[in-house]
Amino acid sequence: MTDRDRLASDAAAIARKLAAAAASGAEGRVNRRLIGGLAQEGLLPRLFPRRAGGTRDEEVSAVDLCAVREALAKESTVTENAIAIQTLGAYPIVLAGSDEQAGRYAGPVARGEAVAAFALTEPGAGTDAGALALRAERDGNGYRLTGTKVFISNAPDADVYTLFARTTPGAGTKGITAFIVNGDAKGLNGTAMRLLSAHPIGRLELDGVLVSEDQVLGEVDHGFKLAMRTLDLFRPSVGASVIGMAQAALDAAVAHASSRQAFGRPIKEFQAVSHQLAEMATRLEAARALVYAAAEAYDRGDKHVARRSAMAKLFATETAQQVIDVAIQVHGAIALEQGHLLEHLYREVRAPRIYEGTSEIQREIIARDLFRQ
């Protein structure tokens, strides 16, 4: 068994062990019991370096992140989402923070003692992240943050936000800075949002929130590069997570087709059913190969990592949507009943085609890289 396989096996076992904790949370809000369990079982610390409260010598590899997210998503999308947002929210601090910042802010996240969030999207800046308008204005030795963030996972319950704001007006992507913002900061208010799938997600309003100089993350006006570097690491793992969902759906469809009788025989014997499943299995395997190839490219520092990450996210999310749709078709109306695995997965799989860059922007990233050559 390879290290990747061992990590995936451990993650799956932990997801099964924490099933009760995953089911115990309030719908649409942060489940601190689950996050604490992920830390106590040792999975969260395995994704962070020691300088940031974890057990690794270095930052998490993209391959390991993919292995964990795929295994968790196949077992429990709730558990997968919890660990994905914890790592996404804290990893800009790991990547660009000083040792003091990493220990102070990311350490409690790795230990399951604090909840993290990645705050980039705004009402007028989603796919076009360079258009963000939340202001960061100098105030003595710090900054005052004013504006709105939306569709922020773990908001408004997070203890620490990696938040991106504009420090230089009119400078586009070159005028954005990353900040570490405490969840209890004066002037920070938030409300929960309800989406198609009930994940913890919300809106943040910042009214002159004061952050000190030591809460600046990385260099001033270089925050956009940090955001993109973080997303390059996480985009293949978004693909891995939907592969886990799709594999669960495909397995359910194969089992159903083997046992369901129609016209005196199992429906797997009808070519209209079996060939659809064969096609989906093939597409899913291709998506998995593309995802792990992109992750390996990130880990070795490939110069085309942005393009490969975009390809992986694009193909995997679009494929997963197809696989789950076919699995529902094979099951028929029973799969549409609320609470059915496939009804759940159908709702879960839609958002990944939008967050961390829509399918359309992934195509744009790929095209730009092609023509840059």
List active site positions: 356
CB 77 within 8 A of CB 344: yes
Coil, strand or helix at 220 = coil
Distance CA 69, CA 247 (A): 13
CB 158 within 8 A of CB 117: yes
CB 285 within 8 A of CB 70: no
The 8-class DSSP code of residue 303 comes to T
- Residue 320: name the closest of 243, 250, 253, 252 by CA: 243
Q: What is the number of residues in the chain?
A: 373
Distance CA 74, CA 183 (A): 31
- How far the first Cα of the chain sits from its last, in Å, is 39
Coil, strand or helix at 231 = helix
The C-alpha angle 237, 243, 244, rounded to 5 degrees, equals 95
Coil, strand or helix at 136 = strand
State the maximum Cα–Cα separation within the chain, in Å, rounded to a whole number.
80
The two three-digit tokens of residue 298, written as one number = 């990130």
What are the angstrom distances between the C-alpha of 54 and each of 42, 85, 161, 190? 9, 16, 19, 29
For residue 325, count other CB atoms closer than 10 A to its CB: 15
In DSSP terms, 145 is beta-bridged to 136, 209
The C-alpha angle 240, 244, 250, rounded to 5 degrees, equals 135
Distance CA 202, CA 180 (A): 18
Can you spell out the DSSP letters for 237-251?
Answer: HHHHHHHHHHHHHHH
